[in-house]
Amino acid sequence: MQDKRKIEIALLILRLSIGAFLAVWASLKFLRPEWMVNIFRGSYGQAWVTQDMAFLVGTLQAIIVLAFLIGFARTITYGFVTLMHATGVIASIPSLINFTKYPSNLLWTSVATLGALIALFILRDLDNLFSVSARRNKDT
């Protein structure tokens, strides 16, 4: 197998697995809207967030995650998803530092996800398998 093909397969695996991870978080805005309220109040100190907002946020997240999954407008969607996730990681730094307390230790998975997102963003022009943007660029 050629190195280029290996890279494309690896990046596709990253995009799909990260997309699945992010899709779960987006779906929770519909299935458990109170969790978003608890996270915004507890982690971000934002008491003004309501459960009604969860549906709007979930809808926006779902659209962005879908665009990410299909490789649409890679620079914009990959960048936005990376920044969105980085915001959550930065907000959880106190919990990351206190990693011996459950469930704080589980938050370290978000650091690995952030690393994968940064790598995918850097290599986005090589992420060509099943990517709408790559197909459009090839057609022009």
- Phi/psi at 129 (nearest 5 deg)? -75, 125
Place of tokens 């649409």: 72
pLDDT of residue 102: 82
pLDDT of residue 95: 85
Q: Which domain holds residue 104?
A: 3-134
> For residue 140, is it within any domain?
no
Contacts for 46 with CB less than 8 Å, ≥ 6 apart: 40
Distances (CA, A) of 67 to 76, 101, 123, 132: 10, 36, 17, 9
pLDDT tens, position by position, 78-98:
999 999 999 989 988 988 998
pLDDT of residue 137: 66
Place of tokens 């990410």: 68
Q: Which of 33, 32, 37 is nearest to 49 (CA)?
A: 37
pLDDT of residue 65: 97
> For residue 139, is it within any domain?
no
> For residue 45, is it within any domain?
yes
- Intervals of the chain under pLDDT 70: 136-140
Looking at the structure of the chain, the number of domains it has is 1
Averaged pLDDT score across all residues of the chain: 91
